[in-house]
Homo-oligomer: A and B are copies of this chain.
Amino acid sequence: MVNALKAAKAKLKERENLTSAKWVFDFNEGDGKMRSLLGGKGANLAEMTRAGMPVPPGFTITTEACLRFFNRGYKIDDLLKDQLFEALGRLEKQKGQRLGDPLSPLLVSVRSGSVTSMPGMMDTILNLGLNDETVRGLAAITKNPRFAYDCYRRLIQMFGNVVFGIGHHFFEYQLTALLREEGLDHEQDLTEAALRQIVDRYKKCVIEQAGRPFPQDPHEQLLLAIEAVFKSWHNPRAKYYRKINHISDKQGTAVTIQNMVFGNTGETSGTGVLFSRNPSTGANELYGEFLFNAQGEDVVAGIRTPLPILRLEAAMPEAFEQLVEVAKRLERHFKDMQDIEFTIEQGKLYILQTRSGKRNAQAAVRLAVEFVHEQVITKEEAILRIEPSHLDQLLHRGLNESQIQNVLAVGLAASPGASTGQLVFDTDQAVAWSKAGKKVILARQETTPEDIQGMLVSEGVLTSRGGLTSHAAVVARGMGKSCVCGCEAVRIDPVTKAMYVASSVIHEGDWITLDGGTGRIIEGKVSLHEAEMSIELEEILRWSDEIRKLKVLANADTPHDAAVARKLGAEGIGLCRTEHMFFSPFRLPVVQRMILADSIDERKAVLEEILPMQLSDFLELFKEMSGLPVTIRLLDPPLHEFLPNLDELREQMLQLEREEQLAVLTEDKEASRLKQQQLSAFILKTEALQEKNPMLGQRGCRVGIVYPEIYDMQIEAIFKAFSRCLDEGVEVIPELMIPLVGDVAELRAMRELVDKVALQVLGKEKIQACPYKVGTMIEVPRAALTAKKIAAQADFFSFGTNDLTQMTYGYSRDDAEHKFLAHYLDHNILPHNPFEVLDHEGVGQLIEMAVASGRSVKPRIKTGICGEHGGDRQSIMFCHNAGLDYVSCSPYRIPLARIAAAQAVIQFKDENNVLPAV
């Protein structure tokens, strides 16, 4: 008995708790800060209502109610219904109308409203409340039956589509048929009678397609519409949009129910969209479109061509003036350029929605700076408004998008910038045509070091195989060439000199265009616009530099890269990959001889030839970076990367054999035999260097330890270059970086080698002091785990987040992207591609551990990252929070990094840093 009583009480209590939750807010109950509960739209409508803007009344069902709906088996329960109908009651009272009342029908819109803007991704229903009776009432009240039936047929179509999932084409088909029957061209010419016809046909269409009639009960309409909007959170396009924009699936959507106003009641009515400034340029001018006698979806649907907003001034000067004034008020109120949806109903202006307007990169920068000048926002706020990744658009050559007609395929965006040229399939042709003054695009299945010369003379590079770390991608980024790689949708046939995409064939000499920033491969020639640094961008960057704590260094391998980087604000070189210096077509044969040397003496002899080349590399680099630190990473990749592809070598061998079979003269045969022998030896040595998992093989300092003579030569070149610079009065701060260290003994051995060679060279040159540093990449998990020991031997830690991510996840970047990572992202197994956004939880944990334990023995040890994450905003935020000293990124990402580093400071100003800043 007692227990039963207790249970009943508990139930009552639970019910009370539930009823005390508020799931529905009238517009005048909320405000702009309630975004997470009311969605962006609901919060803005509430804020505007509070600010006395002309907003039609209504209320918003919260995102919490939406999540509750999902959790309760996709049912709207009685508790929510109670609150909903109470709010409806208040709206009815305010308007003096009632839902379903034939004499005074209330009509409402039902719209989605997510927390983060997802324009056009979810569903909306207008004119809800109409049925066979209320449509007659509406006709009578407005004295405009044509308008009433036009509204009704629109409701049936939208409702049919959103609630019952009936394709729009079923309705369009009916409409087109009737227009044909009536001999009319435009639907606005339809008579009232014709519109009644349409209503009848649409209702039949609903029965046929949905198996049930269009509901005549407006309350049923309302509940079904709300359910449908809730559910539209999970529709595929919304899911996809959230995925690519990194929006959580767990937010849910709010639903806003708003009293309808009508832009389609005649020639003194209309509807439009207004941007308070120009979203393409940022200029302080009105920008927008307007349609007379239309409802909102007509603007979106694009059936009728809207008029420029300035045309409204002549037609309805009062409404226009009011609109301009409201726009300015909204902009100041929300402190941003506004994208405003409005309707004019018989001369009266209503604001239906406002939100911060989407803008391109150029406009974003200009807007942010001008708002500061206008004292609307602070410098900090301006900096926070820049989406760093948009700077890519500003800092690379771009396409004139309007000229793009046919995107053939989309590959991996391997190296940003656009390029256009005539297609070639091999290096020889590329060189020949380029000499003849032609612009060429080189297409290869995948590139090898032997293609370098071809890449060098091409505008851009396209491959059908290989990932973002493939040879083509790495070399193109190093050269600053645009590159699209791993595009498996195209088949590249160097024999027939043609590229096949779906049913198209592109031949040698045909023009194509690459967009290395998006991976698009475009048919034909597209004109390009050069990158430029606007004065506004320079201003934002100056502000950012005043604020940021992280230094920004460059990944630069050539004097050209170094010069670009310095111009873009680099404070030194954080990563010079010496292997890229070996790939040039004149050096490669020498490097290959070095690798294939039979003895250490033979190898040393070849290294003597390479030494002056390296010396001049470093000399030029040091001069470009005079006075700033230059971090040089000793040779890193597996040696076989410098050798030709084995398959190609074998193919050459087969070719020789075939030729031999055809040759008749004995001399030919002997020459061929000799060639075969040489080739065979070459193949054998190349085979011996092959590895099953080169990513985990003999690379980095493992090469330096097994073949110390190679590092010896590089170190000698560095210190000789230092000495030359000293003679020429150039200030040099060389930092030698040992790659792929996993145990302190590796670093100790390499550090000893550096010290030994430095002493030799500096001693010979009689130089007393050189402020060189020796540090290490932390890119193997074990290095992070044993960082305490390693710090004792290191002057700096540079986190190589590419490799660290590969090994911490056990993902080979090349293999993962195609084989399973795409699937993982599609299926929400992982929230991000960890090669794009640094994984805080795993990889980040290792970095934090390493920084903490490194500093525990060497408090001022310099720390930074030099993987590709160095150019990613979220990753830079992480670096700031982890207390690193610098990020190093490719030259064109430096402005991005400068801004992101400042954003990190602003965003985390009030939070304690995880690690003390040094």
Contacts and interface: CB of A to CB of B under 8 A. Distances in A.
A806 B693 CA distance: 11
A603 interface: no
A236 interface: no
Contacts of A740: 810
B785 A829 contact: no
A743 B705 CA distance: 35
Interface in A775-829: 779-782, 785-786, 803, 806-812, 814-816, 819-820, 823-824, 827-829
B695 A785 contact: no
A709 interface: no
Given A780-B810, A785-B841, A807-B807, A829 B694 contact: no
Given A810-B780, A829-B743, A841-B786, A815 B705 contact: no
A892 to B, nearest CB: 27
A705 B745 contact: no
Given A742-B810, A829-B743, A815 B781 contact: no
A816 B698 CA distance: 7
A696 interface: yes
A845 interface: yes
A-side interface mostly: helix
B823 A693 contact: no
A697 interface: yes
Interface string A486-502: 00000000000000000
A691 interface: yes
A742 B841 CA distance: 11
A264 B439 CA distance: 95
A909 interface: no
Contact of A842 (B786, B819, B824): B786
Given A809-B780, A810-B782, A845-B785, A815 B706 contact: no
A882 B191 CA distance: 85
Contacts of A692: 694-695, 812, 814-815
Given A693-B693, A694-B693, A706-B819, A781 B803 contact: no
Which interface residue of A780, A785, A809, A824 has the most chain B CB atoms within 10 A? Answer: A785
Contacts of A702: 819-820
A726 interface: no
A705 B829 contact: yes
A193 interface: no
Contact of A815 (B694, B819, B845): B694
A824 B819 CA distance: 34
A819 B654 CA distance: 29
Given A697-B816, A780-B809, A786-B845, 20 more contacts: A691-B815, A692-B814, A693-B696, A694-B812, A696-B807, A696-B812, A696-B816, A698-B815, A698-B816, A705-B829, A749-B829, A780-B810, A781-B781, A781-B810, A782-B841, A782-B843, A785-B841, A786-B842, A803-B810, A807-B807
Nearest first, the 6 closest Cβ-Cβ pairs linking A and B are A696-B812, A693-B812, A782-B842, A697-B815, A691-B815, A780-B810
Interface of A: 654, 691-698, 702, 705-706, 740, 742-743, 745-746, 749, 779-782, 785-786, 803, 806-812, 814-816, 819-820, 823-824, 827-830, 839, 841-843, 845-846
